[in-house]
Structure 1
Amino acid sequence: MSRPPLLVFSDVDETLIAGKSMFDFLAYYLRATRGTPGARHAADVRQELSRRTSAGAPREAMNRLYYRTWAGEPAARVEELARAWYAERSGAPGFYLAATRRALELHRAAGDTVILVSGSFPAVLAPIAAEVGATRLLCSVPEVHDGVLTGRLVGDPCIGEAKRAAVRAMLQSRPALDPAQCFAYGDHVSDLPMLAEVGNPVIVGGSARLRARLPRARVLHPQAVEDVLALLRPTREQSGEEFHRAGV
């Protein structure tokens, strides 16, 4: 007997695609609009945010700081260049992590609903979502006023606990679905809150910190396409009540 359709949540950067979309697109955009000085500024922004994160700054705060870089940029131009960025980058080998992409293809073939969950933003994520058949984006949303990005966000950055809240709200909107049967894919310890909301968490790349925090998760090597079918076979026998007792 076939199983009912499920919700499948996937992080994007270094889970579904190999790179960091926010920084890669910032460099692309600033080079396209400001030339070499723009590219240098993008590199400086990335280096400074990386330095602060390494020093212990909250990722949520760094996400907000990143979006300040976009203050004053025309939203239509950002969307136009985001499409151009995707067309160029996605044509290169290795843009997508093969195993995760294949897993999402198989989920869709089974009738599951694929949802991308990311600290990145809609202009960058929309073409990725269209390519993999994701029907919903749960992400950071830049504020736009009179067609111009303000540098602020609408609501919270979609990082850490905000991912948990967004995923939990989606699960609660489908009361007929059992969260213990749903899937989530992530690569970083900041994805833990999201992964802990479902019965089938998958760690892409095998982060030691994430595995230590969520030992029940399965691990998927980014290029191990041959492992995907086994990964998707039902392995959980516990009831929803047992799953919630075992949650993080």
Structure 2
Amino acid sequence: MSTVSPDARVLEMHAVTKTYVDGANTVTALDAASLAVDAGEMVAIMGTSGSGKSTLLAIAGALLAPTSGEVAVCGEVLGQIGVRDLARLRRQRIGFVFQDFNLLPTLTALENVALPLDLDGASSATARSEARRALAVVGLRERARSFPDELSGGERQRVAIARATVGRRRLLLADEPTGALDSVTGEAVLRGLRERADDGAAVVVVTHDARHAAWADRIVYLSDGQVVDETRASGPESLLSGGAV
């Protein structure tokens, strides 16, 4: 693995393979895939359905263990720490943004965002102060007392982003975060993720849309579980000028 300082290298995946047994067959979801993401960097993962994008994201976020290979988050090698420390790492350093938001309907926006800190043992005052700050970053401070069903789709997604970044989160993973949103709202969500990277987080976004990938610094392409190509993104401004991604 790289000797890059963990202060700069937030995510490092080295020769990661994930296989499943399906009856008499073995299915390879990831095949010796490697990926490194630094603080302040946004990376888009693209590929056809079944190429391994969501599997890569789940392994990067310590939700799924690889069959082989090594994964390190914030300098901690996931295969070398116990279950309790993995849970701590997910709570404190990794944020997830899902396409379906995964907000708890009985909690307000503020309570949803504060939940990871509550679960980590923070005081109520600290958790809510941090949650208000995170909501302010995504422009939703005034919606703190609203319940999810009182929010628009874009507002719910921004609450999910605030929850994913609250506290000391350094790695933000987003799986098709704009799939259920209209184009205007989707662009606002991507802008929010870009801002989180600009603030120093490492951001990885799985997307099928080249317009969304243009917000990233790099685009990594998967095919049949393998990293087959990588390009520098041209930036969202290229879409306005008619340039290619």
Q: TM-score with structure 1 length normalisation?
A: 0.31
TM-score by length of 2: 0.31
Indicate the structure with greater strand content. 2
Higher relative contact order (CA 8 A, sep 6+): 2
Of Structure 1 and Structure 2, the greater helix share is in 1
